[in-house]
A and B are shown apart, each in its own frame.
Chain A
Amino acid sequence: GAGVSQSPSNKVTEKGKDVELRCDPISGHTALYWYRQSLGQGLEFLIYFQGNSAPDKSGLPSDRFSAERTGGSVSTLTIQRTQQEDSAVYLCASSLTPTFYGYTFGSGTRLTIV
């Protein structure tokens, strides 16, 4: 596609439920990143996928968080047993070569845990 697509754009869910967030990167972009941004804060790195290499999961805040990237394309971020502190905007970005071209971000998923 023309850009990075994220779905849903907004998600309200009850505490304790599981949620899945989807990211469809730009075709051909081998690098894919998940960040989250709490209200008025900077971006917090979560996880990074590069091609077929093992993902860098060093930013995942707890074992309730997991992510997959199937076929080197679409990625799903799953949060199990959601907590109120998980409320944030979850941003996905993709890149061909970040050190040359930077990231292209999606519009994000605004997750609200009630």
Chain B
Amino acid sequence: SQQGEEDPQALSIQEGENATMNCSYKTSINNLQWYRQNSGRGLVHLILIRSNEREKHSGRLRVTLDTSKKSSSLLITASRAADTASYFCATDGAGNQFYFGTGTSLTVIP
């Protein structure tokens, strides 16, 4: 399957700590995206990283991509209670379709 797989499935940290979640995939990609989902509803696009990029930053978010290992990581620095959500990686596939994993559930404890 082209589907990305996030790791860990669940993560609980104290406010102010950093949170790291990982995504592994199986086939070659052109780009990989990270999304956040609150309360099981719509997903919010966080960041897109292309296959020729190794690292990308957006505010407190840092994404890395290692195409040789077929893996990506999302780092959230100085976490806040509002960061509590599920985080999904999505990898591109045929026909502009993106494949989503089952997500990492992050809980930030105030």
Min CB gap A56→B, angstroms: 5
Cβ–Cβ < 8 Å partners of A107 in chain B = 41-42
Whether a CB of chain A sits under 8 angstroms from the CB of B56 is: no
Cβ–Cβ < 8 Å partners of A108 in chain B = 40-42
Contact pattern, B 69-108, Cβ under 8 Å of A = 1, otherwise 0: 0000000000000000000101010011111111100000
Question: Using a CB-CB cutoff of 8 Å, which residues 15-63 of chain A contact chain B?
Answer: 31, 33, 35, 37, 39-43, 45, 48, 50, 56
Task: For chain B, give the interface size range.
Answer: 20 to 34
Whether a CB of chain B sits under 8 angstroms from the CB of A67 is: no
Measured in the bound complex, the distance between the Cα atoms of B97 and A108 in whole Å is 18
- Are B3 and A105 in contact, with the CB atoms below 8 A? no
Min CB gap A69→B, angstroms: 15
Contact pattern, A 92-114, Cβ under 8 Å of B = 1, otherwise 0: 01000011111111111000000
Cβ–Cβ < 8 Å partners of A89 in chain B = 40-41
By beta carbon, the residue of chain A nearest B48 is: A102
Which of A39, A41, A99 is B96 in contact with, Cβ under 8 Å?
A99
Cβ–Cβ < 8 Å partners of B35 in chain A = 102-103, 105
Number of residues of chain A lying within 8 A (CB) of chain B:
28
Measured in the bound complex, the distance between the Cα atoms of B42 and A42 in whole Å is 12
Please name 19 pairs of A and B residues whose Cβ atoms are closer than 8 Å in the assembled complex, sorted by A.
A37-B40, A41-B102, A42-B88, A42-B101, A42-B102, A43-B43, A43-B88, A45-B97, A48-B95, A48-B96, A48-B97, A50-B96, A56-B97, A93-B43, A98-B96, A101-B48, A105-B43, A107-B41, A108-B42
Q: B residues touching A (Cβ–Cβ < 8 Å)?
A: 3, 30-31, 33, 35, 40-45, 48, 88, 90, 92, 95-103
Q: A residues touching B (Cβ–Cβ < 8 Å)?
A: 4, 31, 33, 35, 37, 39-43, 45, 48, 50, 56, 89, 91, 93, 98-108
10 additional A-B pairs beyond A89-B41, A93-B43, A105-B43, beta carbons within 8 Å, are A39-B40, A40-B102, A42-B101, A89-B40, A98-B96, A99-B96, A102-B33, A102-B48, A107-B41, A107-B42
